[in-house]
């Protein structure tokens, strides 16, 4: 969608919300996979994690949530 609109992705910031397992050992692989899927240099992709602080479905360990924000600019 972005490419077809004359824009290009500048940077992506992702937050994964989960109690377990810990994300830290998997961050490099997730970052590389997202960068490859988006056609970006891995330096332009950030992946971080947080917990549900024992609240909601994430905090009870019933599921995982994710948020992502992308900065885009005019292609060219």
Return the CATH number at 34.
3.30.1330.50
Domain of 59? 3-74
Smallest CA-to-CA distance from 72 within 5, 24, 20 is with: 5
Question: Rounded CA gap, 46 and 31, in Å?
Answer: 7
Smallest CA-to-CA distance from 70 within 13, 1, 32, 3 is with: 13
User: What does pTM read for this prediction?
Assistant: 0.83
User: Residue 66 belongs to what H/E stretch?
Assistant: strand 65-74
pLDDT for 3: 76
pLDDT for 2: 84
Distances in Å between the alpha carbon of 73 and those of 9, 24, 51, 56?
Answer: 7, 30, 32, 36
Question: Rounded CA gap, 20 and 26, in Å?
Answer: 12
Per-residue pLDDT reduced to its tens digit, 24-68: 999 999 999 999 999 999 999 999 999 988 889 999 989 999 999
Count the domains in the chain: 1
């Amino acid at each position: 969608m972005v490419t077809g609109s004359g824009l290009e992705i500048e940077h992506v910031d992702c937050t994964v919300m989960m109690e377990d397992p810990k994300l830290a050992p998997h961050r490099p692989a997730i970052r590389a996979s997202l960068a490859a899927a988006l056609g970006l240099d891995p330096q332009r992709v950030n992946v971080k994690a947080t917990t549900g602080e024992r609240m909601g479905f994430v905090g009870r360990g019933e599921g995982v949530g994710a948020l992502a924000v992308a900065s885009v600019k005019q292609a060219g």
